[in-house]
Structure 1
């Protein structure tokens, strides 16, 4: 049987957690082995076998230690509905003062993406807020504050979820 990629959604983030530990087992009554330690609430299990049921347990961790395990929860891969891992969009570019009424954001298409999410923030180091969900590879931010530099990130998405954020790019509206 061929290995597949199985995307695990770990649930809601735990406020004090700096990372999580994901364990996998072939039975509901055993802890199994450590698969990985993601910092976010999703994890790609790249070693699943078609037709096999797995049991997953997750615990939240920080410098003080780890919580008790949550779960278990089972997952089964039949090869149908396997979620592809979408790459973050490359080539994100926000216009720099070209338009007085908007910032135009463009990016390269991502294979298999059916729509994108565009986020705006006031600094390069923060995720920002969702401002648009276009199906194509451009978006006009008409609500950008004139005279302010904004930072934009884009995620590629399917109906089943979104990939990681792109690298940010800054942009601003031009003068009137």
Structure 2
């Protein structure tokens, strides 16, 4: 009898394990798998006596590189295979526990949370009941903060955050936040609000397309000609702008616009689009609204905007929702929203 013939081993990485296989060694009576953490180091027996041509190392630690070889044996002696290296992946566990806190603003709620260990992303959920009815509010987030600008003043909301990775998810505690209502200079709530949606959610193309609805939950009609709407953005360069009113329920011809450079610019706003309305626009009845006002603007050279950091721009909802970062004025007095500061 002669010693076993030459043969070849291969290895495949798994999650905290390594799967090994080898070709048959002619004349071999049995096999034994050996392992080392160095390609030239000391190999130690890992398995008992084997007669099959496969073995799975379930004792491997994820992220560690191991070196394996197989020894074929018979009564005449032994033959050792080639050496293969395998680096198993680490086992993924569900994200760890974490805590969220909330702060009320004017028609908005600012949320922040601690990091959830192992989390790949987060999603904010909101409900008007503390125990049920939670719906996704944000898209997938990697930051640890989020501001809900769609909140209605004097309404109590309940928020929670869900952290997610490939293994599953973990849910934070629930916090309640009651945003304040915007007010006029005299501090009396007007019942007016501006709803907004982006007709185009691409933040890096040649046109911005904000659309608005002005709502009146007050007890008196409000003349459109007394109102001004301001949408804040960064102009990115010194190019002038073109304005288009694509459609308005009150009549596109009754919508007027100008672009105003802010005297005190901020990191997210140096210019605003100001909409005013002719007398032909009529009034907004108590409990009514203006209907849609579909606007669009571009640079005269048609270069791209960078809207992702613009104060009033939001992709939180593609339906009309209250946006306190779009301001509304009645006879020049702030009646809705928060100016950038």
Structure showing greater relative contact order (alpha-carbon pairs closer than 8 Å, 6 or more residues apart): 1
Instruction: Calculate the TM-score normalised by the size of structure 2.
Output: 0.27
Instruction: Calculate the TM-score normalised by the size of structure 1.
Output: 0.49
Larger radius of gyration: 2
